[in-house]
């Protein structure tokens, strides 16, 4: 009789890795910001990380330049933080970066013309250190706005047809994989079917107020390329307490383009449990892995 394999599902934190730096910097100021008194919520500041990059060339990215305001009292590469950033413990942040900062790499739009979309991603973890920890993230893409001489992430938010009311944006939970059809293989391993809900991304291509979306007007911009499946094998009574890849608890086992993975091959854990988690894979092959961002990448 085949040994029974216990499969337990747990969400981990999928975070941001840095692409290789590009050489040239922006000759002039190139802000990336919440410009219309908006903010992003649901992102605990203690574990916040993220960056922005040019969708067509990920080497053009903000790197270690300060991009997010954890509180209104801070200053970032974009200058003094917006009052909407609140305190450092309310889970509310704002985007307030500038590509002309010396630690950024390359320039997304040297000519300052409409379009040239960038991706801005922020991610954090709630209840880190407990079995119920979960990752939360915001991923938006916007084009350059000549009227504001910069990238306004607000245009990816909910907005009325006249641009008179622009809402703020709440972070979404990272997908939670559900398992079914667990079965053994002849060589002592196991197969399991995994499925999860798609992760939402936001862009400026649905609004008609400004012409920032020149690459995909009226259609959702494709930013998410797929998902990375992570696995952990632990005692059923001691689930992993961290979703950070830097914890050493999570191992990537498969990358898939959609929201299912049929007949996923996994080891027989014996008396242990298998824990699964989902990470995000953005376009241009940049994996949003669970890591602590450093100047050299992930550690």
Confidence of residue 10 (pLDDT cuts 50, 70, 90): very low
Instruction: Please name the residues in contact with 237: beta carbons below 8 A apart, sequence gap of 6 or more.
Output: none
In 47-162, beta strands by DSSP E: 49-54, 57-61, 68-69, 75-76, 79-80, 94-98, 115-126, 134-144, 151-152
Burial degree of 240 (CB within 10 A; 0-12, 13-18, 19+)? buried
Average pLDDT, the chain: 84
Is there a contact between 54 and 120 (Cβ–Cβ < 8 Å)? no
Considering the entire predicted model, what is its pTM? 0.86
Confidence of residue 27 (pLDDT cuts 50, 70, 90): confident
Instruction: Please name the residues in contact with 165: beta carbons below 8 A apart, sequence gap of 6 or more.
Output: 159
Helix (H, G, I), strand (E, B) or coil at 246: helix
Q: Give the separation between CA 162 and CA 164, rounded to whole angstroms.
A: 5
Per-residue confidence (pLDDT) for residue 293, from 0 to 100: 27
> Would you give the distance in Å from CA 217 to the centre of its chain?
23
Q: Which tokens hold the place of 38?
A: 């908006």
> Would you give the distance in Å from CA 222 to the centre of its chain?
14
End-to-end CA distance of the chain: 43
Per-residue confidence (pLDDT) for residue 24, from 0 to 100: 56
- Residues 80-100 pLDDT 10s: 999 999 999 999 999 999 998
Half-sphere exposure of 29 (CA within 13 A, CB side): 12
Q: Which tokens hold the place of 255?
A: 């990358």
| DSSP type of residue 84 | G
Domain residue limits, the chain: 6-298
State the residue for tokens 């002309």. 100
Residue 149: Cβ within 10 Å count? 13
Q: Where are the alpha helices (DSSP H) in the chain?
A: none
At residue 284, does pLDDT exceed 80?
no
């Amino acid at each position: 009789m085949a040994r029974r394999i216990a499969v337990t599902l747990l969400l981990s934190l999928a975070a941001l890795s840095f692409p290789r730096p590009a050489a040239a910097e922006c000759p002039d100021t190139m802000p990336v910001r919440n410009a219309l008194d908006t903010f992003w919520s649901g992102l605990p500041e203690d574990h916040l990380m993220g960056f922005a990059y040019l969708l067509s060339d990920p080497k053009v990215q903000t790197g270690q330049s300060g991009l997010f305001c954890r509180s209104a009292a801070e200053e970032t590469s974009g200058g003094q933080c917006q009052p909407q950033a609140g305190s450092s413990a309310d889970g509310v942040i704002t985007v307030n970066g500038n590509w002309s900062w010396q630690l950024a790499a390359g320039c997304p739009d040297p000519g300052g013309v409409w379009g040239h979309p960038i991706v801005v991603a922020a991610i954090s973890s709630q209840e880190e250190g407990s079995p119920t920890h979960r990752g939360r993230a915001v991923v938006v893409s916007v084009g350059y706005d000549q009227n504001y001489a910069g990238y306004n992430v607000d245009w990816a938010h909910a907005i009325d047809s006249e641009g008179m009311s622009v809402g703020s944006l709440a972070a979404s939970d990272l997908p939670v994989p559900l398992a079914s059809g667990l079965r053994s293989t002849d060589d002592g391993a196991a197969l399991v079917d995994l499925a999860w809900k798609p992760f939402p991304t936001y862009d400026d291509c649905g609004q008609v107020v400004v012409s920032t979306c020149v690459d995909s007007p009226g259609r959702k911009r494709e930013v998410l390329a797929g998902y990375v499946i992570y696995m952990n094998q632990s005692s059923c009574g001691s689930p992993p307490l961290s979703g950070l890849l830097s914890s050493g608890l999570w191992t990537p086992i498969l990358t898939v383009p959609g929201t299912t993975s049929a007949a996923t091959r996994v080891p027989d854990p014996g008396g242990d449990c298998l824990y699964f988690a989902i990470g995000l894979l953005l376009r241009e092959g940049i994996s949003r892995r669970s890591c602590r961002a450093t100047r050299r990448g992930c550690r």
